[in-house]
Amino acid sequence: MKRLRDLARAAGDAALQLTLPLFDQIAPVPVRAPASRPVPPATTEGGTPAAHTPGISRRLTRLGGHPVEYELRRSRRRTIGFCVDDSGLRVTAPRWVGIAEIDSALSAKEAWILRKLVEWREHAGRRERLAVRWEDGGTVAFLGRTLTMRIDAGARGVAVDNDILRIGLPAQADAGQLKNAVQAWMQTQARAVFRERLPIYSERLGAAPTQLRLSSARTRWGSCAPDGSIRLNWRLVHFPIEIIDYVVVHELAHLKEMNHGPDFWATVQSLLPEFDTARQQLKQFPDDLTLS
Ligand SMILES: [Zn+2]
């Protein structure tokens, strides 16, 4: 597990994009047509008015035995709608629908709502864990190792010194300066590592990319274009060399097979017989990025 945690920290600076859609919605629940009963104003619903916005209140219900807070919005719509995102559960309902009816609609969608809430909570936790503290003493991953950043006004440039990443910056350097210095260094290292690994496998394959470009795409570790150029994400340099090699081999194999069919995987295997271990590790870790 430690290894996985280190890997997770590896992409810490990546501010990885949301894996989940911006919000999750489920089919709304139809409600009865408005009765001739009086429309209760939002404030008589017993919820806490949310930031004094008319028609919006915060309420508490129980789903699957768990207390679940949600935001209730009254609207002109004719159905009860549900939406879960990183701020929790939102319910939109016509003004004439009573709380009991809303709660029973919530119960009917209980499994979906609870699953989505858990997914979003896990997602938020993951983002939290991945965050790098850009300060003296913070850690970053480099080639699978965890390095502790040390700001050293006496040092020049950035250099690895055992488990220390020594950064030549003034003592009062802020988080932005530290991040820029470390990321620029990581990119230089990434290019050097790729330039060293690519020829090894190119030779085995008998084909070389027309061009290597570094990418900082939020969604891809690597890609291979029909013109034979390969892009590799500089953030791969956080990972152990076996994972970098797998991505290098994967993209090189696309020079022969522009697909993910059996011939493609046979090519990958011929270049890197143990590729599947690295592939599984890469899959497990950053669910935010993919290969193409
Ligand atoms: Zn691919």
Q: pLDDT digits over 39-86, tens only?
A: 444 444 556 655 556 788 999 988 888 888 999 999 888 889 888 887
Residue span of the structural domain in which 194 resides: 189-291
C-alpha 206 to ligand 1 mean position (Å) = 18
Residue 232, helix vs strand vs coil: strand
Does 155 reside within a domain? no
Structure tokens at 71: 């935001």
Report if residue 33 sits inside a domain.
yes
Segment (H or E) for 101: helix 99-108
pLDDT of residue 116: 87
Distance 4 CA to ligand 1 centre (A): 23
The CATH number given to whatever domain includes residue 204 is 3.30.2010.10
Query: Is 5 contained in some domain?
Result: no
- Mean pLDDT for the chain overall: 83
- Asked if residue 9 has pLDDT above 50, the reply is no
CA of 250 to the centre of ligand 1 (A): 6
C-beta separation of 91 from 26 below 8 A: no
Residues 247-286 pLDDT 10s: 999 999 999 999 999 999 999 999 999 999 999 888 765 4
Residues found in the chain: 292
What's the Cα-to-Cα distance from 99 to each of 36, 105, 133, 240, rounded to whole Å? Answer: 17, 10, 45, 55
Shared domain for 48 and 122, answered yes or no, is yes
Answer for the pair 255, 223: CB distance below 8 angstroms, yes or no. Answer: no
Same structural domain, 19 and 122: yes
pLDDT of residue 252: 96
Mean per-residue pLDDT, 127-136:
81
Cα 235 to ligand 1 centroid, rounded to whole Å: 18
Q: How confident is the model at residue 292 (pLDDT cuts 50, 70, 90)?
A: low
Residue 167 domain-assigned (yes or no): no
Name which residue leads in pLDDT, 181 or 87.
181
Residues 124 and 196 in one domain: no
CA 237 / ligand 1 centre spacing (Å): 19
For residue 256, the CA-to-ligand 1 centroid distance in Å is 11
Cα 208 to averaged position of ligand 1 atoms, centre (Å): 16
69 occurs within a structural domain: yes
Buried b (16+ CB within 10 A) or exposed e, 147-177: bebebbeeeeebeeeeeebbbebeeebeeee
Report, as an integer, the average pLDDT of 138-145: 92
> Do 40 and 122 share a domain, yes or no?
yes
Ligand 1 centroid–CA 261 distance in Å is 10
Q: Pick from 237, 226, 207, 221: which is nearest to 279 by CA? A: 221
User: At residue 35, does pLDDT exceed 70?
Assistant: no
State the distance from the centre of ligand 1 to the C-alpha of 27, rounded, in angstroms.
Answer: 35
pLDDT of residue 131: 75
Q: Are 201 and 279 contained in the same domain?
A: yes
| Count of structural domains, the chain | 2
Q: Is position 48 within any domain?
A: yes
Domain annotation covers residue 238: yes
Q: Residue 245 Cα, ligand 1 centroid: separation in angstroms? A: 14
pTM, entire model: 0.61
Domain-embedded: residue 184: no
Q: State in Å: Cα 255 to ligand 1 middle.
A: 10
CA of 251 to the centre of ligand 1 (A): 6
